[in-house]
Amino acid sequence: MVIRATYRVIYGDTDTMGVMYYGAYLRLFEIGRNEYMRARGLTYREVEERGYLLPVTEALCRYRRPARYDDELVIETRVLRARGARVVFAYTVRGPDGEVLAEGHTEHGAIGPSGRPVRLPADILDVLAPEGG
């Protein structure tokens, strides 16, 4: 399942070359993650209230073309894997013309209140499970 979110590039997202700063794409990934979970009926806040945190353990972004100030972007998010204590989200960021600007993924490891890795409960994994399993 792919969930789409939109974001308009603000001036503060751009660097001195007039393009979106490379680090801002990770924030787009976070927007995509949050909207993915919300669309599936579970917010990050609810996960945290149940005592689970999902820190990023790995992030990758491949930059294809630059985004510029005032571009309306589409962030496409899907889950590649959700098992045990690990969740992997994949992202595609598209520009106003639908062209791919960036692609990437983030891997998350679930931890409990003690800061130690924990398995996510079945109901959370069900919400995060990729379509078809």
| Distance (Å, whole) CA 78 – CA 69 | 26
Paired residues of 81 in beta bridges: 88
Both tokens of 99, joined, read 């062209």
What domain count does the chain have? Answer: 1
- Residue 104 is assigned to a structural domain of this protein: yes
15 given a catalytic annotation: yes
Rg (CA), the chain: 15
Task: State the pTM of this model.
Answer: 0.93
- What would the mean pLDDT of 89-108 be, rounded to a whole number? 98
Pick from 36, 52, 47: nearest CA to 3: 36
Sign of CA dihedral 99, 132, 4, 107: negative
- What single DSSP character describes residue 84? T
Whether 133 is covered by a domain: the verdict is no
- Domain hosting residue 11, numbered range: 3-128
Residue 82 contacts residue 125 (beta carbons within 8 Å): yes
Tens-digit pLDDT profile for residues 66-76: 999 999 999 99
What CATH code is carried by the domain that includes residue 65?
Answer: 3.10.129.10
Domain assignment present for residue 70? The answer is yes
What confidence tens digit (pLDDT) does each residue in 55-94 have?
999 999 999 999 999 999 999 999 999 999 999 999 999 9
Res. 47: pLDDT tops 80: yes
The per-residue pLDDT for 111 is 97
CB distance 71 to 81 below 8 Å = no
**Mean pLDDT, rounded, of the chain:** 95
Q: What is the pLDDT of residue 130?
A: 83
Q: Which of 15, 70, 123, 126 is catalytic?
A: 15
Q: Give per-residue pLDDT as tens, 15-38.
A: 988 899 999 999 999 999 999 999
